[in-house]
Amino acid sequence: MKVSSNPNLRLRNILEREDVAIATFITLKGVRTAQIIAHTGAVIIDCEHGNIDDSDMHDMVAAVSGSGVSPVVRIPSLDGTFMKRALETGAHGIMVPMVNTAKEAELVVKLAKFPPVGIRGHGSSFACLEHGLKTPSEFIAKANQNTITMIQIETASAVENVDEIAQVEGIDLLFIGPNDLSLSLLGYTPANFADTALLQAISNVVASAKRYGKKVGILSTDGEAAKKAKEMFDLIVLNTDVRTLQAWYGKELNIARS
């Protein structure tokens, strides 16, 4: 990753300092929800699995950025239209699920970057605002360098091809989806981190990422798992808003009823 001098690029700056970034998937729509989660760290607005539409995404990116935190958007699939919409909100990064080959990773870069690197078109009046810049022209001049491009490694095919995927220029971070990876490799979910086949696959992804200078991330279910993951990963997503709310309320309700 190239070093950025823009202090507004909070997540990129954390990663460039070689610190471990901790984020949360947010699946519930709403500006207030986004603000609340943003006060815990970086936020990944989940438009793949979350109850978040295009308008919600726009508002939530602005709310997260306005809270002093980097908004990242996970798009539903490798889709150029939605990728453009996500990037034009001013998201500091995108996460693309189910990338299985180097060719697909190259397409992500092509769609996410402005010429001459890619084919992304100019038009958004909003993106510069969330990057702390005054004009679209300023944003375009720096967007290829500043926007974090993440792809998810979450199938057996992706693991098999990970060495080639990790060599694709313009991809910043490989993010392991352990539950889908477990489903693909072993036929069940949630992921069992005691399973040697899953652990070997994760180790292979990490090794390829490090070999070719990419950052690497993973989903963790709780604080203890995240603390352990800090030894190996650059980005840790600490569960989701819904799962955390369910877990906390369920625990407290059991106490109240006992």
Q: Give the residue extent of every domain in the chain.
A: 10-257
| 10 and 42 Cβ atoms separated by less than 8 Å | yes
Q: How many C-beta neighbours within 10 Å does residue 205 have? A: 25
Smallest Cα–Cα separation from 20: which of 41, 47, 39? 41
Indicate whether 20 pLDDT > 70: yes
The pLDDT tens digits of the residues spanning 203-234 come to 999 999 999 999 999 999 889 999 999 999 99
Helix, strand, coil shares of the chain, percent, nearest 5, are 45, 15, 35
Smallest Cα–Cα separation from 95: which of 143, 138, 154, 145? 154
The pLDDT tens digits of the residues spanning 28-37 come to 999 999 999 9
The predicted pLDDT at position 133 comes to: 87
Domain 10-257: CATH superfamily, name plus number: Phosphoenolpyruvate-binding domains (3.20.20.60)
Task: Give me the chain's average pLDDT, please.
Answer: 93
Mean pLDDT of 68-79: 95
The first and second tokens of residue 181, run together, are 């990876």
Indicate whether 3 pLDDT > 50: no
Question: Which sequence positions are flagged as catalytic?
Answer: 49
Indicate whether 6 pLDDT > 70: no
The pLDDT tens digits of the residues spanning 108-144 come to 999 999 999 999 998 788 889 888 888 888 889 989 9
Smallest Cα–Cα separation from 211: which of 178, 248, 165? 165
Instruction: Answer yes or no: pTM beyond 0.85.
Output: yes
| 130 and 65 Cβ atoms separated by less than 8 Å | yes
| Sequence-ordered list of residues with C-beta below 8 angstroms from that of 155, at least 6 positions apart, any chain | 98, 100, 180, 181, 184
